[in-house]
Amino acid sequence: MSPRTTKAAKPVKILIAAMGGEGGGVLTSWLVNAARALDLPVQATSVPGVAQRTGATSYYVEIVPTPRTKLKGREPVLDLYPAPGEVDLMIATELLETGRALEKGFVNPKSTTLIASTHRVYSLTEKMAMSDGRYDDEKLLEAAKNMAKRAILFDIDKAAREAGCILNSVILGAMSGSDLLPIPAQTFEQGIRDAGKAVEANLAGFAVGRAYAQGKIIEAPTKAKAKAKQRPVTVDREAETLRKRIDGAYPGALRPLVMEAAGRCLDFQDARYAGLYLDRLDRVYGAETARSTVDVEKKGALEVTDETARQLALRMSYEDVIRVAQLKTRASRFDRVRREVKAAPEQLVRITEFLKPGPEEFAQVMPAFLGRPVARWARRNPAKARRLHFGMHIRSDTIFGFARMRLMAGMRRMRRIGFRYGEEQRAIEAWIELVCRATSENRALALETARCAKLIKGYGDTHKRGTDSFAAITAALIEPALAGAPFTAAQVAQAREAALADPEGDALAKVLAEITGAPVERVAAE
Amino acid sequence: MERSFAKEIESLKLGEGEVFEGEGILAVTKAALQAGVSYVGGYQGSPVSHLVDVLSEAKEIMDEYGVHLEICANEAGAAAMLGASINYPIRGLVTWKSVVGTNVASDALSNLGSVGVVGGAVAVIGEDYGEGASIIQERSHAFAMKSSLWLLDPRPELGTMVDMVEKAFELSEASNTPVIVMLRILACHVQGRFVARDNRIPKISGHNKIKEPVYDLMRISLPPGTYAQEKAKIEQRMPAAKRFILDHAMNETFEGDLDDIGIITQGGLYNTVLRGLNRSGLADFYGKSRVPIHVLNVTYPLIDEQLNEFCAGKKHVLMVEEGNPDYIEQALNAILRKADLQTKIHGKNVLPMAGQYTADVVQTGVAKFIALAKPKGVDTGRAASLPDEIASLKGKAAGHLGTPVPVRPPTFCTGCPERPVFSAIKLAERDVGKSHISCDIGCHTFSTLPPFNLGNTVLGYGLGLASSTGVAPNFERRVISIMGDGGFWHNGLSTGVASSVFNNDDSVLIVMKNGYTSATGWQFLPSSPKNGRFEEARMSIEATMRALGVKWQRTVQTYDVAKMVKTLKTALTTAEKGLKVIIAESECMLAKQRRVRAERAERLRAGKRDIRPRFGIDDDVCTGDHACIRLSGCPSLTIKPSTDPLRSDPKASVNNDCVGCGLCGEIAHAAILCPSFYRADIVSNPNRIDRWLTRLRGAVITRLWSPEARRIGGGLAGAILEPEASSRRAA
């Protein structure tokens, strides 16, 4: 005798992968209440653990599609755990959590409908990486599409914001619209009304979710950022001259990048400085096009120039106090801040800046003969130097605060006599020289040499560490390689990645020691 | 903290025949009232906090029945409370999180177990074992065995859970033994239903008090009583318990047609076992299984004759028992051997020794068992192929993804007041070097995870300081201990502070004073603030420290990172010997926001002026190094794709969850980190002065912009002047 089962009485299994604090419990209770309203046997449970924080949290619900009265006293045995391969409806409130659900086998191409949001809430490991530690979204999306019987994927977070409701009401709508639940939309809507919180907004969100699931709204593929609106402009004569020079000297594929880069230098200092930028880039471009029959219009043909164009502009627009003050007093910034902090038109916004200059920052703008000894002292006595920093809270929306910042930005005109300017230009020259030499000898190495400049960024200790890492790689690998040592571009790349692996510099020291066979001292800590 | 459990409280009032719908732990609370408890106590901890939380709000019910609720100082206190049932026929229920809570309670439990009870004494413990657990992984089972307490592990169905709790009181009285009801996390949180019974008004209660004390030397845990008690456990209480369990059919047997095999399972795992059989084609969804199943709703003591009867005539039986060691499986083998039954027992040979028994774990074990047992007339192919199907599914997903998905470990909440303390420790370390850090239990244990990675040991709740006393005298630098205010009142006060002062230990203690036991759901402490005001707390940690003889003591607001760094450095380097206590004070941000948000909403509704601070980052100033994130880890401090065509690394960004705690600015200053941060104070319903000032400022600032400042962005396109648009909106 085999147990008799009726098809209708098979429970619908729903797994919700959420993050602590998103209110997955609210979503679950809506589901449970709807099932109860129809007298459908239902069970739900959760592993909140440390729920108020941001850990991954999941909720599991089983609903029997037959009302209790029709079960003739039989009591369904509902599971507390989702079983891999058996989930009918998988919900993920975020894209990475979708990946986690896939990994655990909860999405079965034969039977699982997946409703997932395409937005990302980055995990700490992704956020704290020293460069780009983000998981590949494309992989997640592709996996989701391939693994689900039906995938309903859209930016639920955005849809909820647009509807002015919480994430959960859009998800509930999508669940309802998937037609997998034995619960009509009206029951859910009634549940939202009964809950009595933000009823209108949540009903709107519910409708949007349903429409997405039913294919009535199709999310437009994310377009490249819409161009800024054309506004009436007057033309900057200096910019025009530079533009003409670039148009004449560089192939079409490179032009937008070089324009952006030269413009950055023009903005940082002046037209003469932008000219210096182009002079430097010309040398690299010359070296790269001289070496063989290069088709300059072909994509990827000028990798070294391309990378150098980027890094050179960033190096030449280094972040000193003058630059920071300049960027923070830009006319367009007030609007940007208002947008960023989501201030409504009728609200006012006050802005406070946190600056804490110390001996090094002052040394940077002093003439070299004064700045050098100060900088040297600060570098040798970091603890003492740290104590000499003084914190400033500047209200840059007030007249006095703003004027102070403008004054700092105005020091741009004196930048060339400053200690740091000289130091930076010397370092940049040496690097450009290295790139040029490598380009004619070993193009792959040249590309890596250009890329290594990426390490130099940030402020204070971060900047020091990056500079030291760059110097260490240059001295240990790049220069010896150009002098005939058997180090490869791949090894330089490996060292560059290691430099970005940990702020203590342990990984870099280890990799350099491995490659060169000589112990290398680690670079300064964070 | 103020929360409303009005709905939950209503369901505790349900009467005979009415349907209760709700959470498992609430059903257990209802069961206690149906059993007529006179007193309830407990110490908070997931997953059982709710029991005490709800009852502490249910004043109406408690007053009506005269039931006393004690918010105990720790689990030992809760267990000791059951002492009321030693001499008097009154029923009591206590609760805590296990296994850690049972460890703390074990002294009282041993004494209670030895002496025995006359009134029903029940401990409901939340077994926090497996995925998502926040504590060490051990079984509570051994406590029942060593102290001769009876252990219930009911089927996770609300009706059964409620019945078992009520029976637990009867069993306790019938056998003069305290009973432990063990509930797993998922069973505590399960949403289900059962048909209620009337609550029972206790015979003895606050309304009808005990008139005379009972004196009985044999109920004191002193010789000669202890010898007699030990004997009574074996000669009277155990047989009485077994008789009661049998007579009241507390364990259940579900017959099946494949009677040459069988499965014995802990009650709590029954649903998972049945559904595993279902997927193997051997059971339906309604409890009808082809394989006979014996459900142990009582896992200690085991009833020999019941197990013998179930196994007789079976060639193979699978024992499904979660965790390590396999006490039940061992006992089962011994029982069958004594009865000379040759049934082959399977268990840990097909199921893992350690770890949670989730659906696929149990299913795989069942499949392996079926393959080994080869029951007659069953195609074992389906069961056997299931594990492979799951593996191939996971393999396929892994193939599409390429690399494993990064983990999402728990971390401090947005704006958490404990985060700045660890930022400060990181900064202090740069100057005075790294020292050993003894951590404690609480939210602050997250310091041991990225991004801080601070902390070298965790030894138990309130034991941060105590666990430093061996290492401190042997460590080059002065060691740091951490303790929460919860841990301080739990036992850190005596085990840690008093002992350290007594021993003249030379170390630094940081007490995280956020006002609540936040990790378990913001329960109140003796030092909890009133409306956020610590000065109005009923007991003061500072005064307690002074009374204990602590000479060096500083209270620092946690968000003042610079001051915290300075205080830390002083404490770590001062020539003064003895215990140095830094009280890191700031209210739990979640608790604070619940209050502040409501107040703000009220102000905005009334059209009153309101200032909300939050932080932001200038994209063009940020270089994408993320050092700020490594010093903070705040959930609202995140990253976003770079829009700069020259830079590909994502930029740091503050999202709208920011509560404006100020840490970002403090770190930017204290760490001399980066000037990208700004604080924006958003003024709602500005008054006339606000508006006038803003207009004036806008007018002047517009004139201060040189053409260069009016550029839109970086590139040559940006270098084109843009004369009108921005200046118009500058204000």
DSSP B197-241: ------SSSSSS---S----GGGSSSTTHHHHHHHHIIIIIHHHH
Q: What is the rounded CA–CA span in Å between residue A64 and residue B568? A: 59
Q: What is the pLDDT of residue B3?
A: 61
* Statement: residue A54 has pLDDT above 80: no
Provide the 10 A C-beta neighbour count for residue B731: 16
**Could you give the count of Cα atoms lying within 13 Å of B294 in the half-sphere of its Cβ?**
26
Q: What are phi and psi of B152, to 5 degrees?
A: -105, 140
Instruction: Please judge whether B409 and A343 are an interchain contact, meaning their C-beta atoms are less than 8 angstroms apart.
Output: no
Query: Per-residue pLDDT for A223 more than 80?
Result: no
Residues in chain A: 526
Whether B262 has a pLDDT exceeding 60, the answer reads yes
Closest listed residue to residue B500, CA positions, set B444, B447, B552, B443: B552
Q: What is the pLDDT of residue B233?
A: 97
Helix (DSSP H) and strand (DSSP E) numbers for chain A: 24, 8
Burial-class residue A346 by CB neighbours within 10 Å (0-12, 13-18, 19+). Answer: exposed
Q: What are phi and psi of B245, to 5 degrees?
A: -60, -40
Strands B316-320 and B344-346: parallel
CA distance B541 to B563: 20
Average pLDDT over residues B402-421: 92
Same domain, B315 and B352: yes
What average pLDDT score do residues B206-221 get?
A: 95
| Same domain (yes/no): B376, B348 | yes
A83 alpha carbon, distance to own chain's centre: 34
Helix spans in B438-537 (H): 485-487, 499-502
pLDDT above 80: residue B326:
yes
Q: Is the pLDDT of residue B718 over 60?
A: no
How many angstroms separate the CA of residue B637 from the nearest CA in chain A?
9
* CA pair distance B72, B40, nearest whole angstrom: 10
List, as ranges, residues 710-729 from B with C-beta within 8 Å of A. Answer: 710-727, 729
Contact B503, B578 (CB under 8 A): no
Is there a contact between B626 and A1 if contact means CB atoms under 8 Å apart? no
Q: Name the H helices within B402-502.
A: 419-432, 485-487, 499-502
Same domain as B521, residue B382: no
Instruction: Tell me the pairing of strands B121-127 and B179-184.
Output: parallel
Q: Which CATH number characterizes residue B59's domain?
A: 3.40.50.970
Which residues between 124 and 183 in chain A have a beta carbon less than 8 angstroms from any beta carbon of chain B? 124-132, 134-136, 139-140, 142-143, 146-147
Two structure tokens written together for A405: 């910042």
SS3 A483: coil
Q: Note the pLDDT tens digit of each residue in B351-363.
A: 999 999 999 999 9
Residue B89 within a domain: yes
**What's the whole-number average pLDDT of chain B?**
93
Q: What is the mean pLDDT of residues A400-414?
A: 93
Residue B139 shares a structural domain with residue B227: yes
Q: What is the pLDDT of residue A522?
A: 67
- From residue B270, give the alpha-carbon distance in Å to each of A45, B318, B340: 16, 13, 28
User: Is the pLDDT score of A232 beyond 60?
Assistant: no
What's the mean pLDDT in A449-464? Answer: 91
Among A23-27, A141-145, A394-398, B170-174, the minimum mean pLDDT is found in A23-27
Mean pLDDT over residues B306-325, rounded? 97
Contact by Cβ (8 Å): A506, A523:
no
Confidence of residue A292 (pLDDT cuts 50, 70, 90): low
Given a cut of 50, is residue B729 above it in pLDDT? no
DSSP class of residue A416 equals G
Put simply, the answer to whether A260 touches B721 (Cβ < 8 Å) is no
For residue A525, pLDDT over 60 is answered with no
CATH assignment of the domain containing B282: 3.40.50.920
Q: Which residues of A touch B396 (CB under 8 A)?
A: 109, 147
pLDDT(A8) > 80: no
Helix/strand/coil for B396: helix
Stretch B125-131: mean pLDDT, rounded? 91
Where does residue B249 rank: exposed (0-12), middle (13-18), buried (19+ CB within 10 A)?
A: exposed
Going by C-alpha positions, the residue among B224, B229, B223, B222 that lies closest to residue B114 is B229
- Determine contact: A303 vs chain B, CB below 8 A: no
From the number of C-beta atoms within 10 Å of its C-beta (0-12, 13-18, 19+), residue B379 rates as exposed
The end-to-end CA distance of chain A, in Å, is 71
Contact A23, A48 (CB under 8 A): no
- B584 pLDDT band, cuts 50/70/90, is very high
Spatial CB neighbours of A60, under 8 Å, sequence gap ≥ 6: A13, A14, A15, A16, A44, A45, A46, A79, A80, A81, A82
B153 and B45 share a domain?
yes
* Whether residues B482 and B627 fall in one domain: no
- B512 and B656 both lie in a single domain: no
B280, B344, B351, B622 from B365: Cα distances, Å: 11, 15, 5, 53
pLDDT given for residue B520 in this prediction: 86
Measured torsion, CA atoms of residues A397, A399, A405, A411, in degrees rounded to the nearest 10: 150
**CB–CB of B316/B373 below 8 Å?**
yes
Helix, strand, coil percentages, rounded to 5, for chain A: 55, 10, 35
* Last-in-domain residue among B353, B371, B399: B399
Quick one: B238 and B373 in the same domain? Answer: no
Distances in Å between the alpha carbon of A160 and those of A24, A117, A163, A349? 15, 11, 5, 26
In the three-class reduction of DSSP (H, G, I as helix; E, B as strand; rest coil), residue A29 is classed as helix
Tell me how many domains chain B contains: 4
**pLDDT higher than threshold 80 for residue B714:** no
- Candidates B301, B322, B331; CA nearest to B113 is B301
The answer to the question of residue B601 being in a domain is no
Cβ–Cβ gap A1/B618 under 8 Å? no
Report CB contact under 8 Å: B409, A55. yes
B13 and B120 within one domain = yes
The pLDDT of A368-391, averaged and rounded, is: 88
Per-residue model confidence as pLDDT tens digits over A65-101: 999 999 988 999 999 999 999 999 999 999 999 999 9
Both structure tokens of A203: 């009903």
Q: For residue B411, tell me if it sits in a domain.
A: no
Q: What is the three-state SS of B66-90?
A: CCEEEECCCHHHHHHHCCHHHHCCC
Contacts with A234 from chain B: Cβ below 8 Å: 720-721, 723
B359 with A348: Cβ contact below 8 A: no
Do B674 and B638 belong together in one domain? yes
Which secondary-structure segment (H or E) carries B305?
Answer: helix B304-311
Q: Check pLDDT > 80 for residue A464.
A: yes
Render pLDDT for B443-463 as a digit per residue (tens, 0 to 9). Answer: 999 999 999 999 999 999 999
The three-state secondary structure class of B265 is strand
Residue B709 lies in a domain: yes
Give the residue from B196, B225, B246 where a domain finishes: B246
Tell me if B575 is assigned to some domain.
yes
CA distance A20 to B444: 17
Q: Is the Cβ pair A122, B638 closer than 8 Å? A: yes
β partners of residue B125: B96, B182
pLDDT over 50 at A5, yes or no:
no
Q: Give per-residue pLDDT as tens, B96-114.
A: 999 999 999 999 999 999 9
Q: With helix as H, strand as E and coil as C, how does A137-167 read?
A: HHHHHHHHHHHCCEEEEECHHHHHHHHCCCH
- Identify any residues that bridge with A154 across adjacent strands, giving them in sequence order: A117
- The CA angle B332-B337-B342, to the nearest 5 degrees, is 95
Same domain, B329 and B237: no
Mean pLDDT of chain A: 89
> Which domain covers residue B664, as residue numbers?
609-730
Domains of chain A: 12-213 (3.40.920.10), 235-317 (no CATH), 321-420 (no CATH), 421-526 (no CATH)
* Dist. CA A104–CA B554, nearest whole Å: 49
Q: Which residues of A touch B1 (CB under 8 A)?
A: none
Last residue of a domain, one of B231, B246, B261: B246
User: Could you read off the pLDDT of B11-36 as tens digits, one per residue?
Assistant: 999 999 999 999 999 999 999 999 99
Whether B244 contacts B120, CB under 8 Å = no
Q: Tokens 């404990």 — which residue? A: B418
Q: Who among B276, B410, B451 is closest to A54 (CB)? A: B410
Residue B524 covered by a domain: yes
pLDDT tier for residue A524 given thresholds of 50, 70 and 90: low
What is the mean pLDDT of the segment spanning B605-613?
96
Residue B474, domain member (yes or no): yes
* Dist CA B112 CA B439 (whole Å): 32
Q: Is B124 in the same domain as B190?
A: yes
Predicted pLDDT at A298: 75
State percent of chain A over pLDDT 90. 71
Which pLDDT score is estimated for A504? 84
What is the pLDDT at residue B596?
92
CA distance A390 to A290: 52
- Would the pLDDT of A233 be above 50? no
B residues 154-213 near A, CB within 8 Å? 156-157, 185-187, 189-193
pLDDT of the residue at A290: 85
Between chain A and chain B, how many beta carbons pairs sit less than 8 Å apart? 427
- The torsion region of residue B415 among left (phi > 0), alpha (psi -120 to 50) and beta comes to left
Longest dimension (CA), chain B: 101
Does residue B381 carry a pLDDT above 90? no
Residue B405 belongs to a domain: no
Using pLDDT thresholds of 50, 70 and 90, give the confidence band for residue A51. very low
Whole-number Å distance between alpha carbons of A339 and A334:
9
User: CA nearest A113: which of A96, A93, A95, A88?
Assistant: A88
Residue A228 pLDDT level (bands cut at 50, 70, 90): very low
Q: What CA–CA distance (Å, rounded) separates A384 from A378?
A: 8
If contacts are CB pairs under 8 Å, which of residues 314-343 in chain B contact chain A? none
Rounded distance, CA B414 to CA B420, Å? Answer: 12
Q: What is the pLDDT of residue B717?
A: 53
Neighboring chain A residues of B277 at a CB cutoff of 8 Å = none
What's the mean pLDDT in B157-181? 98
For residue A346, the chain B residues in CB contact (below 8 A) are: 684
Give me the amino acid identity at B439: C
Question: DSSP string of B631-671?
Answer: TT--TTEEEE----TT--SPEEEE-TT----SHHHHHHHHT
CB contact under 8 A, A332 and B286: no
Kind and range of the H or E element at A114?
strand A113-117
**Between β-strands B523-524 and B516-517, what pairing exists: parallel, antiparallel or unpaired?**
antiparallel
CA distances, A125 to each of A262, A502, B639 (Å): 35, 12, 11
d(CA B355, CA A9): 32
